[in-house]
Amino acid sequence: MSNLPVMVGIADVAKDLGLTHRAMRFYEARGLIKPDRVGTNRFYSATHIKKLQRIIQLTRYGFTLAEIKKGVTRRDLIVRHGDLLLEIQRMEQARADLAGEIEGGADE
């Protein structure tokens, strides 16, 4: 039995990760991932797929592709977490203010 990684085509990876082919090619063009090639076909190993999953996760946290390519550290994650907490507090205050206006019957 071979220990070679199983290679998966772009269509299957895109479907499994909820990405478009275009997004995957964009990540490749930006140097975030380099799939194996056979002719014009792209193939992805488990390592490639894990990297794509991490890219998706970090973009959901608000990191740019340039930041991801540079490398996101634990400290970067801590700072982003703090930024998100501050944004949540700001939004909760705005929601409370708006609810107060609605309850107060403010019409203009």
Q: Does the structure show a pLDDT above 90 at 104?
A: no
> pLDDT by residue (tens digit) across 51-89?
999 999 999 999 999 999 999 999 999 999 999 999 999
**Residue 107's pLDDT band (cuts 50, 70, 90):** low
Strand residues in the chain grouped as ranges (E): 8-9, 36-38, 41-44
Q: Does the structure show a pLDDT above 80 at 20?
A: yes
| Distance (Å, whole) CA 17 – CA 52 | 8
Mean per-residue pLDDT for 30-42?
93
| Distance (Å, whole) CA 23 – CA 13 | 11
The larger pLDDT score, comparing residue 107 to residue 82, is at: 82
Give the global pTM: 0.77
Pick the CATH number of 1-55 from 3.40.50.300, 3.40.1000.10, 3.40.50.150, 1.10.1660.10: 1.10.1660.10
Q: What is the DSSP letter of 5?
A: P
CA-based end-to-end distance of the chain: 76
Q: Please give the pLDDT value at position 2.
A: 46
Residue 105 and residue 72 in contact, taking contact as beta carbons nearer than 8 Å: no
Q: Which residues pair with 42 in a beta bridge?
A: 37
**Residue 6's pLDDT band (cuts 50, 70, 90):** confident
Mean pLDDT of the chain: 91
Domain range annotation of the chain: 1-55
